[in-house]
Amino acid sequence: MEIVHIAAELAPLAKVGGLGDCIYGLARAFKDKDNKIEVILPKYDTLNLSEVENLHVFLNDLPSPFEGERYVNTIWKGQVHGIAVTFIDSHDPYHFFKRGKIYGCPDDLERFAYFTRAALEYLQQCKRDPDIIHIHDWHTSLAAPLIKKHYPRLGKVILTIHNMLYRGVGPAHLLRKIGLDAPELKDGAQINLLRGGIIFCDAVTTVSPTYAKEILSDTTGDTLCALLREYRFKFKGVINGIDYEYWNPQTDPYLSTHYNAKQPSGKKKAQKELRELFSLQDKAVPLVGCVTRLVAQKGPELIKQALFRTLERGGQFVLIGSAHEEETEKRFQTLKQTMGTTAQAHIGLTYDEKWAHLVFAAADIMVVPSIFEPCGLTQMIAMRYGALPLVRHTGGLADTVADGINGFSFLDPTAESISKCLDRAYDVWESKREIWDKMVDKAMQEDFSWKVPAQEYLVLYNSLLKTVV
């Protein structure tokens, strides 16, 4: 089967969060199944090209339509950890992908609309005939209406919604710029790119069964949830996996010490290293970690409360948080300043892959108190690294963490609720070591690899190929 992913992220060279991990893991899972897999990505100026092997120009001057003009693109190809990747290097006058970041520009809608159309032009002009085009989130949702209206030869389209919060909403004139006549995308006075993806694709998935149920049973009057209810016959939740080679405490190149479930002593060394790195006191208390984007969805107030409660109980807390919302960033800057220097906590307001790996390896507990969570990968990574996740019972967190078995969970998004949950975890760590060790063992033995989800996607892809148009 020939499967092409068109996406805005690919770990580890273009990653903001779980979307990048997901494309990486899913593509690699299929690479092992004798399929032809390709990921198409913008050639951002921020790409970590040291992760790309055999990078070369495949095609010069590939034209792509935008606002009545035809801008040219250079098509690059390379391999990322065994995945064939095609990069669209756009020579548009706005320098769409030379902005020093992946998202967060006022013209993000134009940027990704341009990229999506260019990706389809590349497939069409190269006379490609993929079986499946897998698109992800609002960034590449336009591929679904574009394929149905302009490139019908290009194959079946499946859309995965990684997070319904982000929809690609903007002014209707974008459609004229991209050359698409699709009134179906209108949502009130504006257009909604995710809406177009849902209507025109052949199948829609989201990243966990519980999140799928939550969306379908939404009672807030959300128009996209209503739309998904209308299209529920082609919608399902498939839990994400994590790449078990990339996330492996036995071989992780970011760690200087390795371990596994049978010989967990390397974890102690990782704790020592983390404490040294962040000037934390070297003492035998629980290390609580949090690796996250600092946005409202992730429960920033609950993260703060977890930090306060950990310190009250005599534990230590390490946060690696990347800021994406000004307001949330300010709150954490203030918190960092107020706390001053302490030997019991570290607040790192940055994105750092190496630090993230070390925190997963060193932590006893990883907190993930999301207000909502489509899937969540950090709880699964935590378990793989022998840290017990402490999560709010929602979305994919509810599908992967069983309270008292492989982690801890709480329901109410309140300071009291998370504090009580932390107290329970702290008590087990402190005075029921046998139970703690059993839970860690259980967590490390869980299989959150892509094996099962990839099989589900394979069944879905096959069912689409059997569908008569």
CB of 423 to ligand ADP, least distance (A): 25
Nearest-5° angle of CA 126, CA 128, CA 131? 165
Selected binder of ligand ADP within 352, 412, 423, 437 (CB under 6 A): 352
Using the rule CB under 6 A, is 299 a contact of ligand ADP?
no
Is 13 among the residues that bind ligand ADP (CB under 6 A)? no
Select 123 or 356, whichever has its Cβ closest to ligand ADP: 356
Count of CA atoms in the C-beta half-sphere (13 A) of 389: 32
Instruction: Please tell me whether residue 395 binds ligand ADP under the rule CB under 6 A.
Output: no
* Binding segment toward ligand ADP, per CB under 6 A, in 24-32, 320-328, 387-395, 412-420: 320-328
Give the whole-angstrom CA distance, residue 452 versus residue 434: 31
Which residue in 160, 174, 43, 164 sits closest to 108, CA to CA?
Answer: 174
User: 107 vs 353, which CB is nearer to ligand ADP?
Assistant: 353
How far apart are alpha carbons 113 and 191 in whole angstroms? 12
Q: With binding defined as CB under 6 A, does residue 168 bind ligand ADP?
A: no
CB of 362 vs ligand ADP, minimal distance in Å:
14
The residue count for binding ligand ADP (CB under 6 A) is 18
407: contact with ligand ADP by CB under 6 A: no
- Please select the residue that binds ligand ADP; options are 301, 353, 403, 456, rule is CB under 6 A: 353
Given the rule CB under 6 A, which of 17-25, 49-57, 73-81, 125-133 is the region that contacts ligand ADP? 17-25
Q: Does the footprint of ligand ADP cover residue 17 (CB under 6 A)?
A: yes
- Residue 360, CA atoms < 13 Å, CB-side half-sphere: 26
| Span of 116-124, 151-159, 213-221, 372-380 interacting with ligand ADP by CB under 6 A | 372-380
Q: Is 325 in the site for ligand ADP (CB under 6 A)?
A: no
- Closest residue to ligand ADP: CB criterion: 18
Interface region with ligand ADP, contact rule CB under 6 A, candidates 173-181, 268-276, 287-295, 338-346 = 287-295
> C-alpha distances in angstroms, 400 versus 55, 58, 295, 330, 362?
38, 42, 22, 32, 21
The total number of residues shown for the chain amounts to 469
Which positions from 113 through 132 interact with ligand ADP, judged by CB under 6 A? none
- How far apart, in whole angstroms, are the C-alpha atoms of residue 355 and residue 159? 32
x/- map, 200-239, ligand ADP, by CB under 6 A: ----------------------------------------
In angstroms, the CA 454 to CA 469 distance is 25
From residue 438 to residue 467, the character string flagging contacts with ligand ADP as x (rule: CB under 6 A) and all else as - is ------------------------------
Residues 441-462, buried b or exposed e (16+ Cβ, 10 A)?
Answer: ebbbebebbbeebbeebbebbe
18 binds ligand ADP (CB under 6 A): yes
Sign of the torsion angle spanned by Cα atoms 237, 17, 31, 116: positive
Tokens of 28: 């690699």
Residue closest to 459 by CA, chosen among 171, 195, 158, 199: 158
Nearer to ligand ADP, 293 or 438 (CB): 293
Backbone angles phi, psi at 464, to 5 degrees: -70, -40
Alpha-carbon torsion angle 283, 289, 294, 297, nearest 10: -140
Contact call for residue 266 and ligand ADP (CB under 6 A): no
Residues with Cβ within 8 Å of residue 414, at least 6 apart in sequence: none
Which listed residue (376, 386, 407, 453) binds ligand ADP by CB under 6 A? 376
- What the block records as the tokens of 146 is 């574009």
Quick one: which of 10, 113, 193, 377 contacts ligand ADP (CB under 6 A)?
A: 377
Q: Judging by DSSP bridges, how do beta strands 408-410 and 388-392 pair with one another?
A: parallel
320 binds ligand ADP (CB under 6 A): yes
Q: Which of 356, 387, 460, 464 binds ligand ADP (CB under 6 A)?
A: 356
Indicate the residue among 24 and 122 with the shorter CB distance to ligand ADP.
24
Q: Token pair for residue 167? A: 């929809």
Residues that bind ligand ADP (CB under 6 A): 17-19, 21, 291-293, 320-322, 351-353, 356, 375-378
